[in-house]
């Protein structure tokens, strides 16, 4: 029978529940188990697709086109699982299903209630992850114990655990044991209180994972065990890692979290094979080279808005055994002073929506194109590459995307046919994995090492086909298209060290053990630029 692990959070948000869950999944996989992962988000939005990155960070996209919470990125990257539409449920999604069923008369006149209708729907969502061949389903409950919104999810977990039995479903509670600097002490009270909230609603956590800044003492474990009703050996500390999130699986393995979880679930504890991870960590901690990449975005300082891009750069660093530093630069600031980019070895112009910051991105692109600074344009970034080239090389000074200037005489980027006239915002994008055919003799084909690729998309606008020929004649190569040739997927410039744009989001497919070819290509070119520059200086 499939086993279930529920992860809840207490005291504060932002404790890294997603990383902890994904690390545990990796450890279970390293012991030979097949794990499926999902996240429940208690907010009322039907999906995170229409949410601002300011609120919840980037919107992650899966192969099947689900717009999801960024924690799914951790699951796919750390645990090597493939997520889909069953991997992320919000309260909005759950409620709208129940309401739709009610409208269809499916409840046969019953009074529709939180219990059992909403909780049944949630339990069905848990079971939807239990597919053929899955040994363990891991479900992370977003939010913090005590939130009103997460109550129905926790109630469903209580019922579920009761139905399948406590040997088949366990609850792991991630909590904070804060260090009070003035007193020089760790405090267990907040964790006691958060566990007592769970006790009040009938959930008795089986494992307590404690995030701490400094090592915990025996005394703290004893106290937590006593007050939280958890055996002392199941109070596990997760101290802040020193250098990199890639240290988390190792730390949890040292504390035997995976072993203890398997024992609770009465599953055999097979030998753990973590060689791949140990090698990875060695590469992260002992790099040989380094380079600096500028990320020209518009959510200043908000690294979560570009989470997968940062992760992809570290994957390239792992592949090339180099430290890749990435600095965010507000694109609006570059409109007047793009020469700031000179101090970087490479540049990424990421995806985005809305006009703000676009002119800064275009100015940045003119600069890096002319100066030969390696640059990767992603989605909106590629669209800006096309706009920039049309304006400054083709001489179409008003060229634009109809997203930013609906009246432009030269719509080099325009809505897809099927999107014209659509007013609704949610659920109208080209989403998920689509094939792309690469042109032979392009840098793209060389980097990927094959002719046909699959990449994940999230956009409404497209390269305007009327401008294909003139742009090609002016030197912009169309490096990839949809297999029918209709949609331009990739552009690049010959004679530039690295100037590549893609309409899709490569950052969603980069993995710690399989760095994405476009990011590796960029970082390689950046390392080269740095080396050439330092060579020039010493001669």
Task: Output the smallest distance, CB 503 to ligand GLN, in A.
Answer: 8
428 binds ligand GLN, rule: CB under 6 A = no
Task: Output the smallest distance, CB 430 to ligand GLN, in A.
Answer: 8
The angle subtended at Cα 472 by Cα 467 and Cα 473, nearest 5°, is: 105
Characterise 432 by phi-psi region: left (phi > 0), alpha (psi -120 to 50), beta (else). Answer: left
461 binds ligand GLN, rule: CB under 6 A = yes
User: Which residue stretch of 266-274, 284-292, 448-456, 457-465 sits at the interface with ligand GLN (rule: CB under 6 A)?
Assistant: 457-465
Task: Output the smallest distance, CB 275 to ligand GLN, in A.
Answer: 37
Task: Output the smallest distance, CB 472 to ligand GLN, in A.
Answer: 21
386 binds ligand GLN, rule: CB under 6 A = no
Q: Which of 47, 58, 403, 455 binds ligand GLN (CB under 6 A)?
A: 403
380 binds ligand GLN, rule: CB under 6 A = yes
Cβ–Cβ < 8 Å for 304, 58? yes
- Annotated active-site residue 505? The verdict is yes
Closer CB to ligand GLN, 125 or 379, in the complex = 379
Task: Output the smallest distance, CB 39 to ligand GLN, in A.
Answer: 21
Q: Could you tell me which residues are beta bridge partners of residue 413?
A: 401, 463
Active-site annotation holder among 56, 496, 505, 516: 505
411 binds ligand GLN, rule: CB under 6 A = no
Taking alpha carbons only, the member of 10, 294, 318 closest to residue 147 is 10
460 binds ligand GLN, rule: CB under 6 A = yes
Q: Output the six-digit token pair for 236.
A: 């596990």
- Annotated active-site residue 507? The verdict is yes
- Can you state the percent helix, strand and coil of the chain, rounding each to 5? 40, 25, 35
Q: Residues 404-411: contacts with CB within 8 Å, 24+ apart? A: 404/355, 404/358, 410/467, 411/464
User: Which residue stretch of 453-461, 477-485, 513-521, 530-538 sits at the interface with ligand GLN (rule: CB under 6 A)?
Assistant: 453-461
117 binds ligand GLN, rule: CB under 6 A = no
Q: Which of 10, 142, 317, 351 binds ligand GLN (CB under 6 A)?
A: 351
**Cα 328 from Cα 296, distance rounded (Å):** 6
Task: Output the smallest distance, CB 460 to ligand GLN, in A.
Answer: 4
CA torsion, ordered 96, 57, 519, 251, to nearest 10 deg: -100
Cβ–Cβ < 8 Å for 382, 503? yes
Q: Which of 298, 307, 458, 530 binds ligand GLN (CB under 6 A)?
A: 458
Taking alpha carbons only, the member of 503, 393, 414 closest to residue 466 is 414
User: Which residue stretch of 142-150, 264-272, 345-353, 480-488 sits at the interface with ligand GLN (rule: CB under 6 A)?
Assistant: 345-353
Cβ–Cβ < 8 Å for 318, 283? yes
402 binds ligand GLN, rule: CB under 6 A = no
Q: Which ranges of 272-424 would DSSP assign to H, the alpha helix?
A: 275-285, 307-319, 331-334, 358-371, 380-392
DSSP state string for 87-112: SEEEHHHHHHHHHHHHHTTTTTTPPP
362 binds ligand GLN, rule: CB under 6 A = no
Backbone angles phi, psi at 193, to 5 degrees: -70, -40
Closer CB to ligand GLN, 51 or 164, in the complex = 51
507 binds ligand GLN, rule: CB under 6 A = no
Which residues in 377-406 are b (16+ Cβ under 10 Å) and which e? Answer: bbbbbbbbbbbbbbbbbbebeebbbbbbbe
Taking residue 179's Cβ as centre, other Cβ atoms within 10 Å add up to 15
Closer CB to ligand GLN, 159 or 482, in the complex = 482
379 binds ligand GLN, rule: CB under 6 A = yes
The angle subtended at Cα 238 by Cα 233 and Cα 241, nearest 5°, is: 150
Closest residue to ligand GLN, judged by C-beta, is 351
456 binds ligand GLN, rule: CB under 6 A = no
353 binds ligand GLN, rule: CB under 6 A = yes
Active-site annotation holder among 379, 384, 436, 502: 379
Closer CB to ligand GLN, 205 or 351, in the complex = 351
- Annotated active-site residue 516? The verdict is no
Q: How far apart are the first and last CA of the chain?
A: 68
Task: Output the smallest distance, CB 383 to ligand GLN, in A.
Answer: 6
Q: Which of 459, 496, 529, 530 binds ligand GLN (CB under 6 A)?
A: 459
116: DSSP letter: I
319 binds ligand GLN, rule: CB under 6 A = no
List, by residue number, the catalytic residues. 379, 505, 507
Question: Which residues of this chain interact with ligand GLN, rule CB under 6 A?
Answer: 351-353, 379-380, 403, 458-461
């Amino acid at each position: 029978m499939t086993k279930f692990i529920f992860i809840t959070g207490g005291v504060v948000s932002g404790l890294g529940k997603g990383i902890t869950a994904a690390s545990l999944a990796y450890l279970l996989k390293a012991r030979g188990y097949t794990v499926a992962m999902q996240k429940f988000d208690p907010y009322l939005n039907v999906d995170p697709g229409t949410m601002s990155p300011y609120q919840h960070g980037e919107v992650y996209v899966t192969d099947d086109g689900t717009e999801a919470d960024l924690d799914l990125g951790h699951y796919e990257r750390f645990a090597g699982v493939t997520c889909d539409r069953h991997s992320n449920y919000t309260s909005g999604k759950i409620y709208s299903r129940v309401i739709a069923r009610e409208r269809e008369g499916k409840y046969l006149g019953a009074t529709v209630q939180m219990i059992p209708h909403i909780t049944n729907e949630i339990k069905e969502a848990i079971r939807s992850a239990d597919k053929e061949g899955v040994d363990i389903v891991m479900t992370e409950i977003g939010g913090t114990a005590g939130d009103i919104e997460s109550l129905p999810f926790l109630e469903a977990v209580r019922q579920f655990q009761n139905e399948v039995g406590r040997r088949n479903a366990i609850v792991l509670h991630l909590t904070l044991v804060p260090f009070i600097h003035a007193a020089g002490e760790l405090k267990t009270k907040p964790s006691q209180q958060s566990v007592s909230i769970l006790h009040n609603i009938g959930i008795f956590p089986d494992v307590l994972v404690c995030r701490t800044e400094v090592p915990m003492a025996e005394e703290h474990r004893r106290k937590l065990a006593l007050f939280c009703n958890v055996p002392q050996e199941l109070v596990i500390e997760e101290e802040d890692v020193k250098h990199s999130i890639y240290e988390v699986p190792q730390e949890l393995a040292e504390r035997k979290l995976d072993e203890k979880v398997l024992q609770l679930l009465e599953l055999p504890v097979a030998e753990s094979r973590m060689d791949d991870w140990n090698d990875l960590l060695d590469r992260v901690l002992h790099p040989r080279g380094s380079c600096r990449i500028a990320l020209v975005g518009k959510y200043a300082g908000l690294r979560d808005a570009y989470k997968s891009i940062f992760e992809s750069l570290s994957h390239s660093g792992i592949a090339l055994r180099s430290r890749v530093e990435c600095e965010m630069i507000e694109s609006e600031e570059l409109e007047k002073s793009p020469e700031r980019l000179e101090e970087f070895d490479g540049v990424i112009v990421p995806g985005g929506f809305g006009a703000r910051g676009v002119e800064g991105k275009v100015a940045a692109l003119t600069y890096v194109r002319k100066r030969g600074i390696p640059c990767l344009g992603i989605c909106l970034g590629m669209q800006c590459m096309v706009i920039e080239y049309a304006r400054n090389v083709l001489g179409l000074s008003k060229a634009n995307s109809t997203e930013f200037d609906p009246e432009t005489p030269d719509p080099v980027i325009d809505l897809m046919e099927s999107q014209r006239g659509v007013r609704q915002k949610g659920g109208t994008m080209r989403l998920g994995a689509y094939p792309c055919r690469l042109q032979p003799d392009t840098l793209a084909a060389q980097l990927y090492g094959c002719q046909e690729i699959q990449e994940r998309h999230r956009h409404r606008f497209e390269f305007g086909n009327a401008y294909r020929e003139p742009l090609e004649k002016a030197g912009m190569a169309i490096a990839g298209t949809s297999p029918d040739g209709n949609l331009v997927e990739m552009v690049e410039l010959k004679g530039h060290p690295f100037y590549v744009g893609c309409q899709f989001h490569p950052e969603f497919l980069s993995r710690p053990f399989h760095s994405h070819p476009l990011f590796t290509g960029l970082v390689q070119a950046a390392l080269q630029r740095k080396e050439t520059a330092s060579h020039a200086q010493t001669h």
